[in-house]
Structure 1
Amino acid sequence: MKIGVMGAGAVGSFYGALLARAGHEVVLIGREAHVAAIRQQGLQLSSQGETHTIPLHADTSPAALVDATLVLCCVKSPDTLQTAREMGPHLAPEARILSLQNGIDNLAALRSLLPHTVSAAVVYAAVGLAGPGQLEHRGGGELVMAGDALDAAGFRAFDDAGIAVRISPAIEEELWSKLVLNCAWNALSAITQIPYRALHAATGIVETMRAVMNECLAVAAAEGVQLDAALWSRIEGIAERMPQQTSSTAQDLARHRRTEIDFINGAILRRADAHGIPVPANRMLHALVKLLEDRPGLPG
């Protein structure tokens, strides 16, 4: 089957590479430098001490999505609506869209503009771009999705690629759980630029993360979402599962790019304000990341 990856940064390139290595036709839609490097030398995937060269198609234009039966949407949340407008004219009527994005607002955004079947997958993978065409996999890779997110051929494609898929009967709760995890980790990682294990060990960080989580749980409950009582252990466990990883928010700031903070802690702020719930820890982290975004050198 032909699989398109819209917004092939670290996450999209990782799953696209695994699917291409399994023999599927994959096209990555990404930034010009990344695309040029892949065209010249293939995608260089480093994982478990080994580097593999994976040849696959790459393009800068959504027009390359033509005839794709599955499209993985991996763009940053602020770009979702514009991306839907750009790729919509090139999608086959039967194409399925699978959002591998952070946040809880992207499904509604994509569905508002695309008449296709749109579903979400929650990503648990530690990956990063070392440079154009150079991908580092540091651990994980599981996707969590609803049982009807893909058709049979789509699920077979992920199985062929060795991508672990966990089926959840409560995908909204899964998306919220990942949002809370990101709220607890991403901004702190971005502000400090410290990997997860060392960050977790620093004085006062655990207490701050607990405060962030408790605020998020209060907001989720007000939204009618009851989250798993084991969520704290999952949040803390990131420090051991991905000890050398920094958050995508940290990587964006390090590259002088705008972050998704408005769709992470910012999503909590909007809903908290609507319900009259105080969320001072989330508000402070959001404000500090926005301050760092506005420092000289970042594009508008």
Structure 2
Amino acid sequence: MKICIYGAGAIGGYLGVQLARAGVDVSLVARGAHLAAMRANGLKLLIGDEERVVHPRCTDDPSELGPQDFVIICLKAHSITGVLEQMQPLLGPQTRIVTAVNGIPYWYFYKHGGALEGSTLESIDPGGRQWRELTPQRAIGCIVYPATEIEAPGVIRHVYGDRFPLGEPSGEITEDVQRLSEVFTRAGMQAPVLDRIRDEIWLKLWGNVCLNPVSALTHATLDVICSDPPTRALSKAIMLEAQAIAESFGVKFRVDVDRRIEGARKVGAHKTSMLQDLERSRPMEIDPLVTVVQEMGRLTRIPTPSLDAVLALVAQRAKIAGLYDGTVLPAPEAKIPAVA
């Protein structure tokens, strides 16, 4: 089995080490100082006091690798469209694409059913290019729960977690998704195969849609946001708006909103990925985590006033920092009741 990890950063590097140690023929696509360090010294993973080093094939030119059985995309979601041409040499007739990204994936409405079957979402897939060039038929969904970080070029530190739930857009338990789950399990990770992968996508996005932008605006950690009554209330309001949208698509939430917020609070003094990106001057994942929910709200005509307000603020904050160049739609004008 040949697996290419496209975007061997914190999560991709963690996967690369684990899969290589399990004997998988794994290749990593990376760039810059991180790639140079991996080529020179191997890829190092720090888990507690343990140090794991592997020497997988690493490149910034995917054409060197040839067609793969699986391509695991570990890029930030807003970066995918920019590398579609470079990915093509990796795609053979049977290649499956595993979307290990935050937020709503490009294939969301494939095998979805209903009025929006086959629709694309402009905020995450401009012009529908991912849909056309990667094709939804190749897609396998993957939710990323571990927390990892690049401690230095070529060095990944594992913070917590090992779960990567997988699922076909159709809900079928296919041979491909079972094979991938078995490989992940052999590599020391949990990869349950789900027949309702969209439920799990929304469960993770449910927290990201509010906690990420609120943290970027306030610079507060999860424990503070979820404990302080005003920011907890704002987060809950955004989550309820997102829940209404998701449930209109048939999504089922296995926990209620207060339990989801409480789970985030118990993570402790953790900085969200969006706050980390702001502090490190990296492009911020506003569209796949927040704008896309607003877009889906417009499609379903479900109002999102709390989300609209926070999205407008965080987008402007990111633009001032030079970390976002997207377009956010203004919220609908409020109707002021007439005075008798």
Question: Secondary structure of the residue that 1:85 maps to in structure 2?
Answer: helix
Q: Which residue of 2 aligns with 1:282?
A: 307
Distance verdict in 2 for CA 1:269–1:63, change over 3 Å: same
Tell me how far apart the structure 2 counterparts of residues 41 and 194 of structure 1 sit (CA, whole Å). Answer: 37
Distance change >3 Å, CA 211–CA 149, structure 1 → 2: farther
Shift of 1:36: 0.8
Residue 170 of structure 2 is aligned to residue 170 of structure 1: no
| 2:134 aligned partner, one-letter code | L
| 1:148-191 CA distance string (max 9 Å, x none) | 38355423321210110122211122212222121132112323
Distance 2:202 2:77 in 1: 15
TM-score, normalisation: structure 1: 0.89
Q: Distance in 2 between matches of 1:237 and 1:100?
A: 22
CA shift for structure 1 position 93: 2.3
Give the Cα separation in 2 of the matches to 1:276 and 1:58: 46
Instruction: State how far apart, in whole Å, the 2-side matches of 1:32 and 1:149 are.
Output: 36
Question: After superposition, what is the alpha-carbon deviation per residue over 1:60-111, rounded to whole angstroms, capped at 9, x for unaligned?
Answer: 1222441422110112222223333321233232222111011223225544
- TM-score normalised over the length of structure 2: 0.79
CA gap of 1:129–1:179, structure 2 versus 1, over 3 A, is: same
- The unaligned stretches of length 5 or more in structure 2 are 109-124, 168-172, 326-340
Provide the residue aligned with 1:237 in structure 2: 263
Q: Deviations over 1:275-297 (max 9, x none)?
A: 33322221222222212221245
Q: Percent identity?
A: 30
Q: Which of the two has higher C-alpha Rg?
A: 2
Once residues 154 and 296 of structure 1 are traced to their aligned partners in structure 2, the CA distance between those partners, rounded to angstroms, is 40
The equivalent of 1:103 in structure 2 is: 103
Match of 2:132 in 1: 112
- Structure 2 distance, partners of 1:29, 1:174, is 27
Contact 1:177 1:231 (8 Å CA) reproduced: no
**Which consecutive unaligned segments of at least 5 residues does structure 1 have?**
none
Q: Is the 8 A contact 2:74 2:100 kept in 1?
A: yes
- The aligned counterpart of 2:158 is 137
Partner of 1:181: 207
CA contact (8 A) 1:107 1:119 kept: no
Q: Which amino acid aligns with 2:274?
A: T
**Retained in 2: the 8 A contact 1:5–1:28?**
yes
**RMSD of aligned residue pairs (Cα, Å):** 2.4
| 2:12 aligned residue | 12
Report what 1:159 is aligned to. Answer: 185
